[in-house]
A and B are shown apart, each in its own frame.
Chain A
Amino acid sequence: MNFTAVWAIYYSEMVRFFRTIAQSFISPVISTSLYFVVFGAAIGSRIDQVEGVSYGAFIVPGLIMLSVMTQALSNASFGIYFPKFIGTVYELLSAPISFFEIVLGFVGAAATKALFIGVVILVTASLFVDVPVTHPWAMVLFLVLTCVSFSLFGFIIGVWAGNFEQLQLIPLLVVTPLVFLGGSFYSISMLPPIWQKITLFNPVVYLISGFRWSFFGTADVPVGLSLLAIFGFTSLCMVIIWWIFKTGWRIRA
């Protein structure tokens, strides 16, 4: 195991993050505040409570998940796409490191950034509303696993993408709708019966539901199922990455 190399990649990725720390910090704070103004104050004041939780608090786990997923995705996909785009990938390929170590460096950094932003949002949100955390360990587990799995997913997108449009394609066309329709801002029990069934095909529902359970102790789907979903998704991404590197797909001619 070439830990020095993993650290070199991780550190270099984090340097990029800290170079733009103001943006990295301010943008989630602002967007969270906006969501609170719109959903919490303007609309939320007309919604009483959802499953015994004030609407303002209810949307916090969803908001965190929304940002964490999109941040992990964009950071990880950009992280590996950028060296491909500017050509510095040659160095990764010619260095005495395994693919596992490359993934560890890039995904580790992307997950760290996403985690950081998740925490920033949680702190910002708690300035607006009282957010109880019923199961703190489960909360951390869900948060970390989501950061890791979506960073892995982002890494796959970054390897696959042939241009900047493709880099944006999946996050924009697939992930954002799934997250918005995954119960970020509502409980699926609020949907018409038919949609309650259909929405169960959305994998994000399980993640948000499990994460929300760790806060309020109530969930749309059983927590076990949520855990299974997040582990399943993480494993699936790992298998795909293992295959990518075994075949050199889109990386090594």
Chain B
Amino acid sequence: MIVDIKDLRKTYKGGFEALKGVTLGIKEGEILALLGPNGAGKTTLISTICGITNPSSGSVTVGGHDVVKDYRPARSMIGLVPQEINLEPFNKVIDVVSYSRGLFGKKANPAKIEEILKQLSLWDKKDARVMELSGGMKRRVLIAKALSHEPRVLFLDEPTAGVDVELRKDMWDVVAELKEQGVTIILTTHYIEEAEAIADRVGVINGGELLLVEEKAALMQRLGQKTLQVDLQTPVETVPESLASYDLEVAEDGHALRYHYDTSGESTGITRLLGDISAAGLQLKDLQTDQSSLEDIFVGLVKEGAA
């Protein structure tokens, strides 16, 4: 485990508990996406690992170094791309990026800086002042700063919030390239597609608790669940015998039947079901489908947690 988080808690001065005992191990070289709604504790978690906030209790090690007691070697390994675009507006791009490298105690290396700026398509903007750049470009500068000191672990806090589709794709390419170089990447997002596109594992965080960490494939399967509701002309009391094999549910006081299916499966069974429904002599009034959203999963997970 390159990052090892044990029972991490953070209570802010006003008494707000932003992290309620998070335990998480992050493997070297993986891309972990932390999904969660706003205010879930994603940024607090990252800030605590990176040294911006002090933990109330619990521990974090990065590369085996405690982030509080042994902060120098720990932080040397970490690159952080914050959520907000925080940049010195009057400085040149290349100075801003070189500054970060110096701040992390690394000897100046113009060739490395050039390589990073080129990788992020910033090289032709190197002498531009930060304030002259577009929002997307500024975000790239933030990434360049984080990469300038060659971190082993990179935290990306909502890297694609408010970013256009093209840049988002670019960002994903950069992340994939970094992964190839062996960099461990932790990103937070509230876009499922983002986690789906680039993550190896997905953690779901809400209310300061890590609700689950799963391989992406397993989680996506859960997210692939859909429900088909068949509204009937005349209500039924029970599921007709001939439809017993479908695991249907009677809903709306017998006015509807519900069928759960998986879009990621080879066949959904809908065609056959509808055929069998009419064969059973039931008249259809309407059809509606409903996909379980991330929110549903949260609700489900929170309920599970409470039970």
Interface residues in chain A, defined as those with a beta carbon under 8 Å from any beta carbon in chain B? 2, 4-5, 7-9, 11-12, 15-16, 19, 83, 86-88, 90-97, 248, 252-253
Contact = CB atoms under 8 A, between A and B. Distances in A.
Given A93-B50, A94-B78, 16 more contacts: A2-B72, A2-B105, A12-B91, A83-B88, A86-B87, A87-B82, A90-B52, A91-B86, A93-B51, A94-B51, A96-B72, A96-B73, A252-B51, A252-B53, A253-B13, A253-B53
B76 interface: yes
A96 B71 contact: yes
B102 interface: yes
A253 B12 contact: yes
26 contacts: A2-B72, A5-B104, A8-B101, A12-B91, A12-B95, A12-B99, A15-B95, A86-B86, A87-B82, A87-B86, A88-B86, A90-B86, A91-B145, A94-B50, A94-B75, A94-B80, A95-B103, A95-B105, A96-B73, A96-B74, A96-B75, A96-B76, A96-B104, A96-B105, A253-B12, A253-B53
In the complex, which of the residues A5, A86, A87, A90 has the most CB atoms of chain B within 10 Å of its own CB atom? A90
A56 B115 CA distance: 59
B75 A95 contact: yes
Cβ-closest 8 pairs across A and B: A8-B102, A87-B86, A96-B75, A94-B50, A96-B72, A253-B53, A2-B105, A95-B103
A97 B72 CA distance: 7
User: B interface, how many residues as a size bin?
Assistant: 35 or more
Interface string B81-125: 010101111110001000111111111000000000000000000
B47 to A, nearest CB: 8
A90 B80 contact: yes
Contacts of A92: 103
B109 to A, nearest CB: 11
B107 A252 contact: no
A88 B88 contact: yes
Nearest to A93: B52
Nearest to B77: A96
Given A90-B80, A93-B52, A96-B76, A4 B107 contact: yes
B23 interface: no
A240 B120 CA distance: 42
B54 interface: yes
A4 B87 contact: no
Contacts of B71: 96
